[in-house]
Structure 1
Amino acid sequence: MVVRKEEGITLIELIVTLAILGIVIGVYSSLYYSGYKSFSSTQNSVDVEQNVRFAMNYIVSLLEKGPSEVEIIDNGCGLSIKKVLTDRGYRDYTITLENLILYTHIKESDTDSRGSKLQLAVNIYDFKVTKKPNSNMINIQIIGQSDDKGSNRFSLSTDVFLRKSGINVQ
């Protein structure tokens, strides 16, 4: 009797190889998905933080230019900064929060009835301005978050002393 040696793989070897390959691909895809979720969450946090910091720096820089009058409007949810000296002359600024977007409305002069309305920051959930009692200071608080669930929440608050400005509250 002649014994022939068959070349190839058996069914059991094929099944074991596919099982090992399935386990390796499953672990890899799980790690990839976990890394992607972490990256996405971190990116959202950075975006929210940048928006809040930019808006706060913008508002504080306007207040440091010595406007003639600062008015807290909409029960502390808005700010009107009047007669800010810029390279183009005097401007009036109004900062308001509408539908999770912080807007700045800029009027070039008293004759400019329309002005321009620009987005200052997005994903802003709260904007509060309060006057400190018995002083010429205001507190500005901006809270941003990336979704309605409250994740990636970032809050920034600062006190600004107004040297040349009068403060009105409406």
Structure 2
Amino acid sequence: MRKKNKGFTLLELIIVLAITGIIMSIVISVFMNGNKVFSDSSTKTTLQMDAKDIQEKISDICMQASSIDYISGNTENGEIKELVLKLDDTDENISKAKIQINNNELNINGFKIPSKVSNMKINKEIVDEAYKKNGDLSKFRSINFDIELEGKKKFGNKILYPVKFTVAFRNKK
């Protein structure tokens, strides 16, 4: 009489390994997809918070300003690199605020924004007026800003986040 050995056959082990492999690949796929979505939303949230900071800081400066003092940028598309505003229009003491982009870093009166800024545009007519021979920048009562922030996804391409807002000069005389 033949005695039956306890244990698993090779076929049973192969089937268990195949099922385990299929389950593990599904679990890893779901985990990686969830991680990618979380990473993208984290990047977008960071860009939104930076956009809010930019809008608040520029709005605060522009509401204190009386006029535009100086602009440097591209006349073809309204993209600017530097914007200087006059804050106090008295003859004795003229204080100014500076908004500039240097190597994709936005600097608002000494405050650096952590996100990369791919471009900053304002009304094209303001930039055109700045480059006229006898341009009068003091006639403008507001500025339309169009700023594009750039963030990097951990799993892929970059994310562009546009910020558009209009600010009026409150201290205009």
The TM-score, its normalising length taken from structure 1, stands at 0.74
* Aligned residues between the structures: 148
Larger % of strand: which? 1
- Residue of structure 1 equivalent to 2:145: 140
SS of the residue aligned with 1:123? strand
Are residues 143 and 60 of structure 1, via their aligned partners in 2, closer, same or farther at CA, if it must alter by over 3 Å?
same
- Residue of structure 2 equivalent to 1:51: 50
The TM-score, its normalising length taken from structure 2, stands at 0.73
Q: 2:163 aligns with which of 156, 164, 167?
A: 156
- Residue of structure 1 equivalent to 2:34: 35
Distance 1:59 1:71 in 2: 15
SS of the residue aligned with 1:41? helix
- Residue of structure 1 equivalent to 2:136: none
CA RMSD of aligned residues (A): 2.7
Please tell me whether residue 80 in structure 1 is matched to residue 84 in structure 2. Answer: yes
Larger % of helix: which? 2
5+ residue gaps, structure 1, are 85-89, 106-116
Q: Are the equivalent residues in 2 in contact too, given 1:56–1:142 (CA < 8 A)? A: no
**CA shift for structure 1 position 77:** 2.9
Q: 1:124 aligns with which of 97, 117, 130?
A: 117
5+ residue gaps, structure 2, are 74-79, 89-93, 130-138
Distance 1:71 1:6 in 2: 94
Identity of aligned residues (%): 21
The letter of the residue matching 1:70 is I
Distance 1:165 1:80 in 2: 15
